[in-house]
Structure 1
Amino acid sequence: MTGRAKTGLIILDGAGLAAPARGNVVDRACMPVLFDLFDRYGMVPLRASGDAVGLFDGQAGNSEVGHLTLGMGRTVVSSLVAIDRAYRSGTWKKSAVWQTLRDETAQNGRFHILGLVSDAGVHGHWRTIVQGAELAGRSGFSTVVVHPVLDGVDAMRGSGPALLDTLRQALAARVPAARIGVVIGRAWFADRTGNRALARHLVDALLSADALPRFDRRQLEEFCRDKSERDFPAHRADADTRLTPGEAVLVTSHRADRAVQTVEALAARCRPATLTSISEQVPAARVFFPTRSLSGGLAQALQARGIALTRIAENCKFPHVTYFFNGFRQSLGERQISIPDTPGGPETCPRMRVDETVDACRRVMTSSRETGFVVNIPNLDQVGHSGDVGLCRLAAEAVDHALSQIVAQARETGWTLAVTADHGNAERLLDDQGRGFGSHTANPVPFTIVTADGSRADWALGDGGLDNVAPTMAALLGVDPAGICDAPALICRQRSLA
């Protein structure tokens, strides 16, 4: 294959690489089509975690940093790491936002923090809550009230009680005056299906905390035996911790896609502050670390050359193939195909909307106007969070069948496909004790190139990172990757298969 090829990038969300095991559904048994492609076209493992995607060393990857690195062709320091560095350097302490919050808060008003108690660092981290509480105390707030949001999705299911203990201990050591207010599951905090009633319920709970049932750790432990803590209903821990409209409240989510509804529900009743840019309803004066669009990257470089990549994804992953892939830009003028989420959630239907996703890919590849596309197939990640091997096996089989259909259409219409993932998940569904794991992993992810004419890549690198994908896509589309991305392409040239 030479010259410019119409090219699609397929992101198998949550498809990491690991040795065969009972809790690994990213294997030849469940996904024979994918592994046959590896055999025929070759496969390069890519780093998708830790400092390779701008996270802490050894930290599991996630969809935000994964798609950001895929699209930009370079490693971008994650907001989690940037905020931690700002705390350690003193930059966060010096932010003018603290004075704004003091000026806006009623005299003797308390400082409230609402944040995800997680150790995964995908949407939030317990350390960020403690850091914010400590700095609030140093900024003149005599009382800090922390409202913990239990994870059970990004963090290991059932880890909520232990993580809450960790938060309490850290607060006791560093912010002795801090109190614990409303304890609630992330189902109300992190919904992105458009069900704004969930966020309104959460805000109502904060404003009427004293009327809530009393929190009991043993009750939470019992709840977690049968259900995920993400669904734990609102309870109050310490007395006299309700939020009043005149008091400051900081939402410590460092990603925009999950906390929008909560922040906007708060903005309708009080004056929230945020760490990063989450909603236009929060003015810049109350945002500690405003999100700024990035320059460069694959999509911007292609746009300058008159090439657009159509974006396809279910709603749950649509911000990733647009906002994050574009370097914090909602659109660069490309065509966007958003597919409604599965009613009832992915665990009720492991196939999700994969058939509609395949149809969208087919429409793109049969159109003479299209040059390229990016599609996210979310099943392995979304169902993978359940830690249910049986459900995930069904999801893997659905993804593999979808891949076979997309590949068949590509061969018929002369398209090249690059197949990869953004992070691991479904390759480790069980922990070392055989319990459901359901969290992201630090494992590498695969990358292969499938061509309609049977050519095989002459790989320039035996391994790489997600940042190598953008320059490789540029090369496949006939664009010199030099000057577009920091990382090199994974391929030298194409050669025919024997």
Structure 2
Amino acid sequence: MESLKKHPRFAGVEGPVVLVVMDGIGIGRQDEGNLVHRAKTPNIDWLAEHAIASQLKAHGTAVGLPTDGDMGNSEVGHNAIGAGRIFNQGAARINTAIEDGVLWDGEVWRELTGNVKERKSTLHFIGLFSDGNVHSHLDHLRAMLRRAKDEGVGTVRIHALLDGRDVPPTSALEYIDDFEGFLADLNAEHGVDYAIASGGGRMNITMDRYEADWDMVARGWKIHVRGEGRAFSSAREAVETFRGEKPGILDQDLPGFVIERDGAPVGPVRDGDSVILFNYRGDRAIELSRAFDEDPFDKFDRGPRPDVKFAGMMQYDGDLEIPKKFLVPPPHIDRTIGEYLSKTGVKQLALSETQKFGHVTYFFNGNRSGKFNPDYEDYVEIPSDRCPFEDKPEMKAKELTDKTVEAIESGRYRFIRLNYPNGDMVGHTGVFEAVIRGIEAVDEGVGRIMEAVKKTNGALIASADHGNSDDMAARDKKTGEILRDEHGRPRPKTAHSLNPVPVYVYDPSGQSNARLSGHPDLGISSLAATSLVLMGYEPPEDYTPSVVEVG
């Protein structure tokens, strides 16, 4: 690839260009369910009134997802921001692979199904048990079960990670009941034995990310693989029991459980079995993949590791080859803004706390681990607190801001990107008061960055990867009215929103003579070109156009 070309009309702002991703902070209707609106955000409000302000699409086809009914998420959002253009993403790639038969003809699918047929063993599926279409989709699991049946696989076990995060927070029984009916039809019509074998809430077991809490994965391993845990006769019984014991518990927090028949677990993983992790999003799939694939392994005591054929729905980290086998390849994203800047010899900094560090590095760089050129890239990760987000909703916003202001004033960097996770991570808790505090912590940080940018004659671009905190009340699907509990309080919604996100371009020195470019219906992939023009570079021709014109 070639180096970037200088912009024909503008040499770039004198100081650094700072891209702030206010994770999960979108633009929603101004009512009780919009916690961004309810929070005190004087700095963001000032930007909305005085800076160049617009809004960007951050979901659906604008970030490479199949339809505009699909919520955006942090992974595809940072892919789009960093790539500067749109690539078909997880679910869309899998849908195509299923429709075209590419998945079934693939070497890995044939190897795993062939293994269990030859050995008369069990095919296991582990994954997020919902149609939220962020980490997984139950339609993919149904398609694989039908195909396994057609190919003569006799025994299948499903290990269900209950959601309540990308779907309504207490909807687990709807998914369980519907799926049990689907399994009953398969078993009755075709003489196979397909059953749910274990489960638990996604934030209690299995789906940790960024090595924040390996104990979650260890708990999941005992439940899914070893079949060791509290036993029930059905997944419905488990959910109802846990809800009775702890009223108000959300699906994502439910403890792990094991399904038994005749006093024994119905589906532990044994030597000779095959296992498919059917999540397609990488961040919360990497650690379980490592537990199956790696030897030696020191993150927790696996006990006797079963000798199995293991594959992920996709490869979650191409550089580190995690997992070694996968059903559908991820998009090949090249020529990201980070790669272009490194090629051009531009010094850049990426920083966040642990919960979103991989997003401003791995995902921003096009699903690529490591640096393009260490001489021109610095990464800063601030360890996240290991406590419920609602207990400390400010998270590490102050520490992140301290590091960012220091970097701005140092003069070492031309481009700085950071992610404030609060609006998303605290938003997923459904605790309104905590979310408001988290957003206010982000606003305080943005204000300090504005001051540093003004001091150094730099520029600030503040936006988001998707919405969440802007639409946190459950609503009537027909009327849009907020649904309330018995005390009249809004019922929380913890999933991402379909709302657009703000974009604020702040050039306090006025060097760029920036104004809105006038391109209609821009998505967040335009943030790369916007960053480049403010630095004085001409964006590549196939990049999504910049939000602003300069010069």
State the TM-score, normalizing by the size of structure 2. Answer: 0.84
Deviation of residue 119 (structure 1)? Answer: 2.1
- Contact 1:412–1:452, Cα closer than 8 Å, also in 2: no
Q: CA separation in 1, counterparts of 2:431 and 2:507?
A: 34
Does residue 57 of structure 2 align to residue 39 of structure 1? no
Match 1:181 to one of 179, 197, 202: 197
* Greater displacement, 69-78 / 295-304: 295-304
Q: CA separation in 1, counterparts of 2:112 and 2:247?
A: 40
* Greater displacement, 270-279 / 85-94: 270-279
Match 2:460 to one of 396, 411, 417: 417
* Greater displacement, 349-358 / 152-161: 152-161
Distance 1:89 1:171, change over 3 A: farther
Match 1:332 to one of 362, 369, 372: 372
* Greater displacement, 133-142 / 47-56: 133-142
AA matched with 1:165: D
Match in the other structure for 1:144? 156
Q: CA separation in 2, counterparts of 1:183 and 1:51?
A: 32
Deviation of residue 211 (structure 1)? Answer: 6.4
Does residue 545 of structure 2 align to residue 488 of structure 1? yes
State the SS of the aligned residue for 2:158.
strand
Distance 1:190 1:283, change over 3 A: closer
- Contact 1:26–1:396, Cα closer than 8 Å, also in 2: yes
Match in the other structure for 1:427? 470
Match 1:403 to one of 440, 446, 454: 446
Could you report, residue by residue, the CA deviation over 1:386-425 in whole angstroms, capped at 9, with x for unpaired residues?
1221111111111111111111111112210111000000
Does residue 497 of structure 2 align to residue 441 of structure 1? yes
Deviation of residue 62 (structure 1)? Answer: 0.4
Q: CA separation in 1, counterparts of 2:443 and 2:271?
A: 51
Match in the other structure for 1:465? 523
Match in the other structure for 1:241? 267
Match in the other structure for 2:338? 299
Same amino acid, percent of matched pairs: 27
- Contact 2:206–2:218, Cα closer than 8 Å, also in 1: no
AA matched with 1:145: R
- Contact 1:458–1:491, Cα closer than 8 Å, also in 2: yes
Could you report, residue by residue, the CA deviation over 1:224-254 in whole angstroms, capped at 9, with x for unpaired residues?
7421222222223353322213211110111
Deviation of residue 155 (structure 1)? Answer: 2.2
Q: CA separation in 2, counterparts of 1:263 and 1:175?
A: 29
Does residue 358 of structure 2 align to residue 322 of structure 1? no
Could you report, residue by residue, the CA deviation over 1:194-236 in whole angstroms, capped at 9, with x for unpaired residues?
4323212222222343764104043255467421222222223
Any stretches of 5+ residues in structure 2 without a counterpart? 1-8, 295-304, 476-482, 484-489
AA matched with 1:479: Y
AA matched with 1:346: F
State the SS of the aligned residue for 1:273.
strand
Distance 1:198 1:457, change over 3 A: same
Deviation of residue 161 (structure 1)? Answer: 1.6
Match 1:312 to one of 351, 366, 371: 351
Q: CA separation in 2, counterparts of 1:405 and 1:445?
A: 21
Q: CA separation in 2, counterparts of 1:480 and 1:45?
A: 22
Q: CA separation in 1, counterparts of 2:18 and 2:42?
A: 21
* Greater displacement, 258-267 / 376-385: 258-267
AA matched with 2:254: F
Deviation of residue 173 (structure 1)? Answer: 4.4
Does residue 287 of structure 2 align to residue 261 of structure 1? yes
AA matched with 2:360: V
Q: CA separation in 1, counterparts of 2:257 and 2:356?
A: 31
- Contact 2:212–2:354, Cα closer than 8 Å, also in 1: no
Deviation of residue 98 (structure 1)? Answer: 2.4
Aligned residue runs from structure 1 range 48-447, under 5 A: 48-57=58-67, 58-105=69-116, 107-173=119-185, 177=192, 178-186=194-202, 187-192=204-209, 193-209=211-227, 212-214=230-232, 215=234, 216=237, 217-222=239-244, 225-237=247-259, 239=261, 240-267=266-293, 269-270=305-306, 271=308, 272-278=310-316, 284=324, 286-291=325-330, 293-330=332-369, 331-333=371-373, 334-432=377-475, 433=483, 434-447=490-503
The alignment covers a number of residue pairs equal to 492
Distance 1:24 1:336, change over 3 A: same
Q: CA separation in 1, counterparts of 2:120 and 2:291?
A: 24
Match in the other structure for 2:22? 12
Match in the other structure for 2:4? none
Could you report, residue by residue, the CA deviation over 1:296-342 in whole angstroms, capped at 9, with x for unpaired residues?
22122222211143101111111111111111112323210011012
Q: CA separation in 2, counterparts of 1:493 and 1:296?
A: 23
Q: CA separation in 2, counterparts of 1:308 and 1:169?
A: 57
Q: CA separation in 2, counterparts of 1:352 and 1:363?
A: 19
* Greater displacement, 310-319 / 25-34: 25-34
* Greater displacement, 175-184 / 357-366: 175-184
Could you report, residue by residue, the CA deviation over 1:18-77 in whole angstroms, capped at 9, with x for unpaired residues?
121112122275212102111101311101111111113211110011111111111111
Deviation of residue 133 (structure 1)? Answer: 1.9
Deviation of residue 128 (structure 1)? Answer: 2.0
Question: RMSD of aligned C-alpha atoms?
Answer: 2.2
Q: CA separation in 1, counterparts of 2:321 and 2:73?
A: 27
Could you report, residue by residue, the CA deviation over 1:50-107 in whole angstroms, capped at 9, with x for unpaired residues?
1111113211110011111111111111111111121122111111112322454461
State the SS of the aligned residue for 1:26.
helix
Q: CA separation in 2, counterparts of 1:150 and 1:388?
A: 19
Any stretches of 5+ residues in structure 1 without a counterpart? none
State the SS of the aligned residue for 1:112.
strand
Match in the other structure for 2:6? none
